[in-house]
């Protein structure tokens, strides 16, 4: 069962307000998974503090996510969704840290965290 906030993000591509997710301050080792289906998406090893107010990662787990072009809001962005259930997670930008240079900007409400 999804909360209304989870449903709005995963199914309707809403964006949570920045600095609202407790996962912003989650620094323990562990794994981030899709709140919709449990698919493993990101390792804590790829998490970094982007200062944006959304949980951010420089790489996803293998086969964790898929991407597609998003032309809403009058500009082209790359939308990120769960590879397994298709739930919307956030967007990926090319201003992240090394080694990938990518910034996976995720809605914390779309993720669950399991510490190691």
- Binding residues for Zn ion, rule: CB under 5 A, are 34, 36-37, 39, 82, 84-85, 87
What phi, psi does 45 have (nearest 5°)? -65, -20
Toward Zn ion, which CB reaches closer, 36 or 60? 36
Residue of 34, 82, 85, 105 with catalytic role: 105
Contacts of 4 by beta carbon, 8 Å cutoff, 6+ apart = none
Toward Zn ion, which CB reaches closer, 19 or 87? 87
Contacts of 70 by beta carbon, 8 Å cutoff, 6+ apart = 76, 77, 78, 79, 91
37 is catalytic: no
Closest separation between CB of residue 69 and Zn ion, Å?
Answer: 20
Catalytic residues: 105
């Amino acid at each position: 069962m999804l909360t209304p906030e989870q449903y709005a993000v995963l199914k309707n591509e809403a964006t949570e307000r920045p600095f609202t997710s407790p996962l912003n301050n989650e620094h323990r080792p562990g794994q981030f998974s899709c709140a919709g289906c449990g698919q493993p998406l990101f390792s804590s090893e790829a998490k970094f503090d982007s200062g944006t107010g959304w949980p951010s990662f420089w790489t996803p787990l293998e086969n964790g996510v898929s991407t597609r072009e998003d032309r809403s809001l009058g500009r082209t962005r790359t939308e990120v969704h769960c590879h397994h259930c298709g739930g919307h997670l956030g967007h990926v930008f090319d201003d992240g840290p090394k080694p990938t240079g990518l910034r996976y900007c995720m809605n914390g409400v779309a993720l669950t965290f399991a510490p190691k």
